[in-house]
Amino acid sequence: MSLFSEITEQPDRIRSLLASQKTTVERIAAEIQKRDIQYVFLSARGTSDNAGRYANYLLGAMNGLPLALATPSLFTYYKQPPQLKNALVIGISQSGKSPDIVSVLEEGKKQGCLTLAITNEPNSPLANTSDFVFDIQAGAEKAVAATKTYTAELMAVAMLSAALSGEKSAWTGLAKIPAWMKKTLNQSDFISQAAQRYRYIDQTVVLGRGFNYATAFEWALKMKELTYIIAEPYSSADFAHGPIAMMVSGYPVFAIASKGKVFDSMLTMLKRLHEEISAELVVISNDKRALALAQVPLTIPSDVPEWLSPLVNIVPAQLFAYHLTIAKGYNTEQPRSIRKVTETT
């Protein structure tokens, strides 16, 4: 199994996850609704932390739940955990083995909070610490760079949001994700050719906003892990507050600009980069206006709603990182200096 095969199997994994775990997530949602949950306290690292960024927007926008991203060092090194009264404490970890993530859920249980593990290892220390376990069932992921476990984590968050909302239309949208992903995968050959254009770049910025703030971080992470490019993720709003001064003609900018409430602000930034600076744009979008500004336009289906777009947008981003790695002559399966499981304390 290779990184490429793990990218391409994502539609099937997401379809299976939706079918097998709906009852589980509805049971979790029912228990949450029985309690006086006021907010979510979420702990994660690396790729899983980017899934947490998606949860931050989704659970806030769709379910009215504020979300705080944990600082695990307060629980391990400083031994000064915050008060977590009335929190739902969630840990997201592909391996479920990182001691610092486990420590957050242990403290949550100690303080009487409801705890939930979202993991690919249902018998891991994280799972064994938690009241509830959402097994993302991604199967063995051999490549070091996480792909299918990331989208499975996003799907778990989206399913939890749908279960909490009780809206049938939310489940209808979730059921369409595998087909949207599969359609997006058809661009692989185009992306392979386009990546050649960027084989000599050594730095870039990645822009996203709203739900796709998470996508910007995950795309940048894949570029760092696989191609060793200095890839810095930004909200387009934050980017305008100073970092845009780095831009010169021809500077490569990767951006995610899906249709939705933040699209106009993203389009304004892309126009500024295109017209005033002549930046080199790689754009993932389902709107022709954004795609028309790009040297490399990467499309997703036009009917993908904004709240689900991170699950689809990350697919061309993963393919781009994969093909650029090959173009640069690097190993797609074993990036230097990192391991599949990182156990931080």
Question: What tens digit of pLDDT does each residue of 276-316 get?
Answer: 999 999 999 999 999 999 999 999 999 999 999 999 999 99
Domains and CATH numbers, the chain: 3-179 (3.40.50.10490), 186-327 (3.40.50.10490)
Calculate mean pLDDT across residues 191-216. 97
95 close to 123: Cβ distance less than 8 angstroms: no
Higher pLDDT: 1 or 91? It is 91
Instruction: Please state, in angstroms and rounded to a whole number, the distance separating the CA atoms of residues 133 and 119.
Output: 7
158 burial type by CB count under 10 A (0-12 exposed, 13-18 middle, 19+ buried): buried
Q: What is the pLDDT of residue 336?
A: 82
Name the residue among 205, 207, 156, 182 with its Cα closest to residue 48.
156
Calculate mean pLDDT across residues 149-157. 98
SS3 232: strand
Q: What is the pLDDT of residue 338?
A: 72
- Read off the pTM: 0.96
**What length does the chain have?**
345
Q: What is the pLDDT of residue 334?
A: 86
pLDDT band at 182 (very low <50, low <70, confident <90, very high): very high
- pLDDT tens figures, 15-56: 999 999 999 999 999 999 999 999 999 999 999 999 999 999
Q: What is the pLDDT of residue 100?
A: 94
pLDDT band at 339 (very low <50, low <70, confident <90, very high): low
- pLDDT tens figures, 122-150: 999 999 999 999 999 999 999 999 999 99
